[in-house]
Amino acid sequence: MLDGKVAIITGGGTGIGAAIARLFARKGAHVVITSELAAEAMAPVVEAIRADGGSASAMSCDIMDRAAIAALVEGVERDHGRIDILIQSAGVCFAGPIETMEPRKIDLTFGVNVIGAISMIQAALPAMKRAGGGAIVNISSGAAVLGVNEMAVYAASKAAIAHFTRTLAPELRRTNIRINAIGPGSVRTQMLGFTGDELTEEQRAGMVRREARSISPYGNAMMEPDDIAELALFLASDAARALHGSFVLADQGISSAMLPPASQ
């Protein structure tokens, strides 16, 4: 499905990004996973992919550093000859009352989730054009459309990248580059406990329990990273050639259950 393709996956060392990297490699792509972590910290994902017969490499990159992003893109195109797919899974999330949220957390949330994602696209577009086109998939969030208590900053950042995706799509219409976004609901990843060492293990466990209670009324279990990876694979493949600027909400039906029954 992705034979001969080269994919950059930001946030590829853990969670959804790592699941996407593993799946894309199984489907024939060479995956370049990147995060702010040192390459050694991403080695377990790379080694697992190679052990499974796939092709992968890792490059450290601070997504808030435009020079680092430019070096990443240049290095990938130099080493692998092309860039066909960009998956934007890097993200941070802080929860808490807006009145007391530290400015650095607000800046970091928008710096990574919005500015970093936009900067990555700016850098990758020329290489993707030289490759004859490709696909960009941004990992947004269900919080972009459904309010979540004490997560206003995170939700706003994810709504921003979702709308950026929609409005950028027509600009790319003559480049053979498609851009779409996914809005995951509750996925069992490290981010479910949110970002920040200030949380105790008890607080993290409580957050997980609350998320579990809010899972889909359709009886679905909490989603796993692999569930989102399958959707990302579809959007990155030629099977989704008709989709441009779409926001695919994958929240286990939680938002649909907010609607009154049809009989009312």
Using CB atoms within 10 Å of the CB of residue 175, give its burial: 0 to 12 exposed, 13 to 18 middle, 19+ buried: middle
| Cα 106 to Cα 216: distance, rounded to the nearest angstrom | 29
Alpha-helix runs per DSSP H in the chain: 15-26, 43-51, 66-80, 103-110, 117-130, 152-168, 201-213, 225-236
For helices 225-236 and 15-26, angle between their N-to-C axes, nearest 10 degrees = 50
69, 112 contact by CB (below 8 A): no
CA 129 to chain centre: 22
Query: So which residues are the catalytic ones?
Result: 154
